[in-house]
Amino acid sequence: MGAHSDGHRRQAVRAPRRQGASRPASLPPYTAGMAADAPPPGPLALIGGTGKLGPGLALRWARAGVPVVIGSRDAERAAERAAWLAGRVAEAGGGAEVRGMANPDAAAAGALACVTVPHAGQAALLPALARELAGKVVMSTAVPVRFDPGAGPVAVEVPEGSAAQELAALLPGARVVGAFHTVSSAHLDRLDRPLDEDVLLCGDDDLAKAEVRRLVELIPGLRPVDCGRLAASRLTEQLTVLLLGVNRLTRRSAGIRLTGI
Ligand SMILES: NC(=O)c1ccc[n+]([C@@H]2O[C@H](COP(=O)([O-])OP(=O)(O)OC[C@H]3O[C@@H](n4cnc5c(N)ncnc54)[C@H](OP(=O)(O)O)[C@@H]3O)[C@@H](O)[C@H]2O)c1
């Protein structure tokens, strides 16, 4: 993942790039069709937002001004979690509203969504949300993994190719983007610590990917990186299994930073 060893020297003799020319041609700038001072997007529904990743993302987005809806199989748990998160946002200096409701209501209330349930749970949960999520940008974060007592984290094969492709099959009409696999909830949760990592994005809908890119850029310290088609989620999901193995060996939480781009 390191840059080519003479990358800096070669860049120095290149003709100056046009502004924005380094962006892959397939990915429009996130501001396409938006005014420079466009309000933050949202509300953003976190399906299964009561666990570890969902609250971490909720904190960061609410602080950035994105209204968040925490979804759960239990509306009361969602409301309790949302109230606690809203308190943390207020303590940290304020931000957008955090509400909690049952997953189907959260899916309906969200202009976009991020699914933060374990991979093993998505096949039973998501078909009931397909109508509410049709036409919306939906982020897939699931990492199909099992923990072997000897070997540690091991990737689980998914017949569709990846958890993100399975999610797309379960939610026909949703504009699916694989995102945030390699970002640890432990990093997101510590609002007092700056983030410093990349968010790998995979998707077949360029405008959906641009919307997610904008959401990532709203969180200071995170950089979105376009990793191509949705099928590439298989690689970002499996890369995360590698990181989980590194975490096990180092007792830390690893993230990803690509160099040379
Ligand atoms: N944790 C991380 O650092 C991290 C980082 C990157 C990606 N991810 C991925 O993000 C997803 C969420 O991770 P997490 O650590 O937040 O998971 P988690 O805490 O185990 O679960 C998140 C929430 O999912 C709901 N849920 C659990 N089992 C379910 C099932 N069988 N069916 C429907 N809903 C279920 C629960 O909410 P309710 O009981 O309230 O419905 C739970 O609070 C996973 O797919 C994971 O691979 C996690």
pLDDT at 38: 73
Ligand 1 atom closest to Cα of residue 180: 6
| 62 in a structural domain | yes
pTM here? 0.89
237 C-alpha to center of ligand 1: Å?
Answer: 15
Quick one: average pLDDT of 228-246?
98
- In angstroms, what CA-CA distances link 145 with 118, 119, 151, 183, 239? 9, 8, 12, 15, 11
| Position 246 in a domain | yes
Q: Which pLDDT value is given to residue 100?
A: 98
Beta carbon of 125 within 6 Å of any ligand 1 atom: yes
Query: Does residue 231 lie within any of the structural domains?
Result: yes
Question: From the CA atom positions of the chain, what is the Rg in Å?
Answer: 18
Say which amino acid occupies 242: L
Q: What is the mean pLDDT of residues 199-224?
A: 98
Tell whether 114 is covered by a domain: yes
Is residue 257, in this structure, part of any structural domain at all?
Answer: no
* 227 domain residue, yes or no: yes
Q: What is the mean pLDDT of residues 194-214?
A: 97
User: Are 183 and 217 spatial neighbours (Cβ–Cβ below 8 Å)?
Assistant: no
- Tell me the CA–centroid distance for residue 51 and ligand 1, in Å: 5
116 lines ligand 1 (CB under 6 A): yes
Looking at every residue in the chain, the average pLDDT score rounds to 89
- Assigned domain for 76 exists: yes
CA dist list (Å): 120 to 74, 96, 101, 249: 18, 31, 22, 25
Q: Are 260 and 199 in contact (CB under 8 A)?
A: no
Lowest-pLDDT range of 28-32, 86-90, 183-187: 28-32
Domain count, the chain: 1
Residue 8 counted as domain residue: no
pLDDT value at position 25?
A: 38
Confidence at 142, pLDDT banded by 50, 70, 90: very high
- Quickly tell me which residue has 């999901």 as its tokens: 237
Q: Are 213 and 157 contacting, i.e. CB atoms less than 8 angstroms apart?
A: no
Give 138 or 31, the one with higher predicted confidence: 138
Q: Say which residue the tokens 């997610």 belong to.
A: 212
pLDDT in tens, 61-82: 999 999 999 999 999 999 999 9
The response to whether residue 236 sits with its C-beta less than 6 Å from ligand 1 reads no
pLDDT at 26 over 70: no
When pLDDT is averaged across residues 238-254 and rounded to a whole number, the result is: 97
**pLDDT of 10 strictly over 80:** no
Q: Is residue 104 in contact with ligand 1, taking CB distance under 6 Å?
A: no
Stretch 1-5: mean pLDDT: 36
Domain that residue 229 falls in: 39-250
Which residues touch 191 (CB under 8 Å, ≥6 apart)? Answer: 59, 60, 63, 88, 92
Average pLDDT over residues 116-145: 98
For residue 246, the domain's CATH number is 3.40.50.720
